[in-house]
Structure 1
Amino acid sequence: MNPTKAKLMSAVTDLLKEDGIAGLSARAVADRAGVNQALVFYHFGTVMDLVDQACRAATDEAAASYRDELAEVTSLSELLALGRVLHERERAAGNITVMAQLLAGAQRDKTLAETGRYAMGRWNEEIEAAVARALEGSPVESVVDAPGLSRAISSAFVGLLMYDGVDRPGADAAFASLEQLGALVEVIEDLGPAARLVLRSRLKGRG
């Protein structure tokens, strides 16, 4: 990547963490990067396009960095437990703040809305494979839509990202409740064949 572009993308990410989306300007980004303001427009066109490229690159990097850990997930409880670990890592790195600012800006800016959809899609790709493995052989496998459940889990995590900023203990309690749901699924998996058959039949009847 062009060194100047890399500086600008790093600068805009830092400013999102520190000042939020409302505080962004070409001048602020250029000052942080130590380059001429005109280079923001030369390389990216607009400040929002710069945010878009920086957030897409950060999402790709994060998703790739967690791929190996997600590949080891074999149950929903493991997935939810890993989700808590990832949440703590992303919070410590300041990436939760960036995501929250991106979603806030997406309410008013079409470019950022596309960025948000891209970010959610990338995480869904990684999570869906883990969900499919977790459901394999489960009594609920035939009645649960893995792609839909993946989106629900991703959406829950994003909601918790936002919640974390205003009520961290509440977000932690919500994570604990999700982990309890994972444990409940494991209890269901330990049911005998007859009970599993009845459960599967009842679930299909509600589908």
Structure 2
Amino acid sequence: MVATAQTRRPNRSGAATRAALVSAARETLVQDGFARTSARSVAARAGCSQASLFYHFEGVPELLLAVLDEVSDRRMAAYREPLLAARTPRQLARLGRTIAADDIASGDLRVLVELVAGAPTVPGLKAQVARRIGRWEDLVARAAQRFIPPPLRGTVRPAVLAHAVVAGFLGLELLRDLREDGAGTEDVLTDLAHVGRLAAGAPDAGGPS
């Protein structure tokens, strides 16, 4: 008997199929962008049917939120403790550069950028993405509030500062696609670190510390 496409697929548990769909949706977002992340493209990449996708998820928007949750939970687990343990602004800035470099190299930041750009086109998705970004703004606010000088604590609100930081990360990565030199978040953070050292009167070795 000639094997069909269905019989050639390996048998997988429901949990394994769901995980494969989340992984495939993440890869599709990173490589092809939001507009090309469809039930058909994700199912094909995952090696399963579109029916399987709709069995495990109500639709593509719910699947994309599962991708965002997986990325956010993983990165939060890796960086919550170091961010809250930073003792100086310089340590915090250095950690920010590390996070940016890791998130760019892994594609995790691209997942968020694509969802932020595409969410307004899907009813109900924008609010869900915004709520998840709020978790990161809360964490950044907690980390930053310790370093706001006392004279500024009445005027500089940690939540607003955190919103600006997160928006800056997203905006820089969005603009990277428009620049011929590909300059992005890590370049800006590196140069700002140089400026900060010079402004503080510290010697600069011409490269990131």
Q: 2:156 aligns with which of 141, 144, 149?
A: 144
Whole-angstrom distance in 2 between the partners of 1:91 and 1:171 = 9
Is the 8 Å Cα contact of residues 73 and 133 (structure 1) preserved in structure 2? no
SS at match of 1:169: coil
Specify the alignment match of 1:69 in structure 2: 82
Per the alignment, residue 102 of structure 2 pairs with 89
Q: Percent identity?
A: 31
Say yes or no: does 1:30 pair with 2:43: yes
Contact 1:160 1:171 in 2 (8 A): yes
Correspondence for 1:99: 112
Q: 1:151 to 1:75 in 2, by over 3 A?
A: farther
- Corresponding residue to 1:117 among 125, 130, 143: 130
Cα shift readout 1:110-137 (whole Å, capped 9, x = no counterpart): 34312420332111121111112222x6
> Residues of 2 paired with 1:43 and 1:76: CA distance?
44
Which structure has greater helix proportion?
A: 1
- Corresponding letter in the other structure for 1:18: Q
The 1:6/1:177 distance shift into structure 2, 3 A limit, reads same
When residues 100 and 93 of structure 1 are mapped into structure 2, their CA distance, relative to the original with a 3 A threshold, is same
* Secondary structure at 1:110 match in 2: coil
**SS at 2:121's partner residue?**
coil
Q: Which amino acid aligns with 1:39?
A: S
Query: How far 1:48 sits from its partner (Å)?
Result: 1.6
Question: 2:56 is matched with which residue?
Answer: 43
- Greater relative contact order (Cα < 8 A, sep 6+): 1
Unpaired runs of at least 5, structure 1: 188-207
Structure-2-length-normalised TM-score: 0.77
Structure 1 letter corresponding to 2:121: R
* Structure 1 residues 57-102: Cα deviation after superposition (integer angstroms, max 9, x where no partner): 2112211211122122233343233222111111110122212211
Match of 2:3 in 1: none
Alpha-carbon shift at residue 170 of structure 1 (Å): 5.6
In structure 1, the partner of 2:206 is none
Q: Deviations over 1:12-57 (max 9, x none)?
A: 0011111111112212211211222101111111112111121122
Question: Is contact 2:100–2:185 with CA below 8 Å preserved after alignment?
Answer: no
How far is the alpha carbon of 1:171 from its aligned partner?
A: 4.3
CA contact (8 A) 1:52 1:111 kept: no
The structure-2 alpha-carbon separation of the partners of 1:106 and 1:9, relative to structure 1 and needing over 3 Å to count, comes to same
Instruction: Name the Cα RMSD after superposition.
Output: 2.5
Given the two structures, how large is their TM-score scaled by the length of structure 1?
Answer: 0.78
User: Secondary structure of 2:18's partner?
Assistant: helix
Partner of 1:15: 28
What is the rounded CA distance, in whole Å, between the counterparts of 1:81 and 1:149 in structure 2? 18
Distance in structure 1 (CA, Å) of the matches to 2:15 and 2:163: 35
Distance 1:180 1:116, change over 3 A: farther
Check the 8 A contact 2:173/2:184 in 1, yes or no: no
Once residues 71 and 184 of structure 2 are traced to their aligned partners in structure 1, the CA distance between those partners, rounded to angstroms, is: 27
